[in-house]
A = this chain, B = another copy of it.
Amino acid sequence: MKLYNYFRSSASFRVRIALELKGLAYEYLPVHLVKGEHKQPHYAAVSPSLLVPTLVTDSGEALGQSMAIIEYLDEVHPQPPLLPTDALGRARVRALAQLIACEIHPLNNLRVLKYLVKELKVEEEAKNGWYRHWVRTGLEAFERELAQLPPGTYCWGDTPTLADCCLVPQIFNGQRFNVDFSGLPRTMAAFDACMRHPAFQKAQPSSCPDNEG
């Protein structure tokens, strides 16, 4: 398998975690988002939507969208599972993942921050305020959802799931913008547990070949 991705992309990071959790080897193909490499013709041929990550399977199928890729990996390489075995548990884990991937992250990615500055002429401080607002209010919602669930080491139970694959990159991302993580005990306990797990360590931006520090 090959993974087109960028060390700092949260969506890329999610897939790297899943690959490491499953112990799947892959070729790392960097796509430099800040330099606009995702918009170049050679990448457009791989990803018509011009987004990272793209997983290319051994049979040459190019797959986009991080949560869809992770579910695919979970179906084709079921061990260890990244989703619970029951429909209700799967609904809970998918909802946690989507609470990050649909409610927080889309507001804070590079192209959105660029539009705020270039098109809407938003000042640096207001842009950072926007960033922190969505991460903070999103994580507060995430915490309230976690507080309703049975206690566990990770977001759901005692093994990492799709929800943890999404949570950890979001926390990394927030750390870069000095988001306040206080008052989020379940969320940060899950994050800390993940960061003690070697798969999450291996997948993190500082472990990537294109890492710029």
Contacts and interface: CB of A to CB of B under 8 A. Distances in A.
A23 to B, nearest CB: 19
A147 B101 CA distance: 25
Contacts of A69: 91, 95
Contacts of A75: 87, 90
A115 interface: yes
Interface of A is mostly: helix
Q: How many copies does the complex hold?
A: 2
A95 B144 contact: no
Q: Classify chain A's interface size.
A: 35 or more
A76 interface: yes
Contact of A126 (B99, B105, B120, B133): B120
Contacts of A119: 126, 129-130, 133
A48 B149 CA distance: 11
Given A71-B94, A75-B90, A120-B120, A102 B65 contact: yes
Interface string A105-127: 11100001001100110100010
Contact of A87 (B72, B106, B130, B142): B72
Interface of A: 48-51, 61, 63-65, 67-69, 71-72, 75-76, 87-88, 90-92, 94-95, 97-99, 101-103, 105-107, 112, 115-116, 119-120, 122, 126, 129-130, 133, 141-142, 144-145, 147-148
Given A49-B145, A63-B95, A72-B88, 17 more contacts: A48-B141, A49-B144, A63-B92, A64-B95, A64-B99, A65-B98, A65-B99, A68-B95, A68-B97, A71-B90, A72-B90, A76-B87, A101-B102, A106-B106, A119-B126, A120-B126, A120-B130
